[in-house]
Amino acid sequence: MRKIVKLMILALAGYVAGYLLVKITGSYNEKKETEKKIQKLPDAQFISLTGDTVNLHDFDPGKPMIIIFFHPECDHCRYEAKEIGLNADAFQNCQMLMITFDDSIKRIENFCMNYHLWEISNFEVLLDPGNHFDESFGKTAVPSIFVYSPDRKLKKKFIGETKPEALINETILFR
């Protein structure tokens, strides 16, 4: 009887180890595939605040693009927005896009007004009501920032709160 119990425990441990190995390998491969995919600006569509469908490739290809994945109630996002608003002049040569899965247009508009984001001439907020951001950019934290060069190649990716100096340094490279 003890032999049978031992064999069952060994078989169960082998099954669990195999299952974990498959999951870890799959997760690793998925992450590698996403990293490869975002090296060029994804062909992704989101919704403008006016309800229009907007493709990321619709924006001026002659300008670098900064994409910020955010949520208006996130403290780290608020810090970044405040700093970007205070340094708005530094971002005049870029296309700034902020993408959120939040469905409250009023909350988003207040967020942008509070942090003077509307003062950036090439600034736009896009909505992601179906949570498709992950499909295009991979699973990521809020906030996350993707900096693309004018030729739409990924130059830098920031995960988590990012100081404005880091973004400004990236955009200076494109002047």
Measured CA to CA, the distance from residue 91 to residue 64 in angstroms comes to 10
Strand locations in 37-130, DSSP E? 45-48, 53-55, 65-70, 95-100, 123-127
Coil, strand or helix at 115: coil
The alpha carbon of residue 163 and the mean position of all alpha carbons in its chain are separated, in whole angstroms, by: 16
Measured CA to CA, the distance from residue 111 to residue 141 in angstroms comes to 19
* pLDDT > 70? residue 28: no
At residue 26, what is the residue type?
G
Q: What tokens appear for 162 in the block? A: 């990012």
Considering only residues 166 and 128, tell me which one the structure prediction assigns the higher pLDDT.
128
Torsion, Cα 158 79 54 119, to 10 degrees, reads -130
Report pLDDT for 53.
95
Report pLDDT for 175.
55
Measured CA to CA, the distance from residue 135 to residue 44 in angstroms comes to 9
The highest-confidence range among 3-7, 32-36, 45-49, 161-165, by mean pLDDT, is 45-49
Phi and psi at residue 69, in whole multiples of 5°?
-90, 120
Size (the chain), residues: 175
Phi and psi at residue 66, in whole multiples of 5°?
-115, 120
Q: Which residue in the block uniquely carries the two structure tokens 């998925």?
A: 30
**Cis amide leading into 72 (omega within 30):** no
Q: Which of 10-24, 42-56, 80-94 is predicted least confidently?
A: 10-24
Report pLDDT for 27.
65
Span 141-161, average pLDDT: 93
* pLDDT > 90? residue 109: yes
Span 94-118, average pLDDT: 92
Phi and psi at residue 55, in whole multiples of 5°?
-95, 140
**DSSP symbol at 153:** B
pLDDT level of residue 15 (50, 70, 90 thresholds):
confident
